[in-house]
Structure 1
């Protein structure tokens, strides 16, 4: 009478999901590795490297997060499409 719900196999690691993870982890690694940007030279328009490097990562992080989101949406659509067949 009642059908048992299908049990998913759990999270699957795919190359797309690895790229998503790298996009989301890269800004944290870049900001936590302080020794790589704790200097004043080279200055950009009079702004020390320490400051403009961090501000550049604000923009880079936004772009990487958008890429990760779009990849995640595409991955979810592909998974749903495969399950409906």
Structure 2
């Protein structure tokens, strides 16, 4: 069975490695609980444990966008 769509071009290895790192960094940062399992320093009265995890939401989103752009060759609309 063949597809009507040609295979997308493979990105160079450095771009694929960089995209992989963008995806694995938040995963490792949040799974390594001893690095943030403490109360201080507090930010606006919120313990470090909570604001560290919340800070990773926009950072993870940004890293996923970067990974997507790396794998698509810089064109966000394909």
Q: Scaled by the length of structure 1, what TM-score is found?
A: 0.72
Superposed CA RMSD in Å reads 1.9
Gaps spanning 5+ residues in structure 2: where? 1-9
Structure number with bigger Rg:
1
- Higher RCO (CA < 8 A, seq sep 6+): 2
Write out the 4+ residue segments of structure 1 that deviate beyond 6 Å after TM superposition: none
The number of residue pairs the alignment matches comes to 66
Gaps spanning 5+ residues in structure 1: where? 1-10, 76-85
Larger fraction in helix: 1
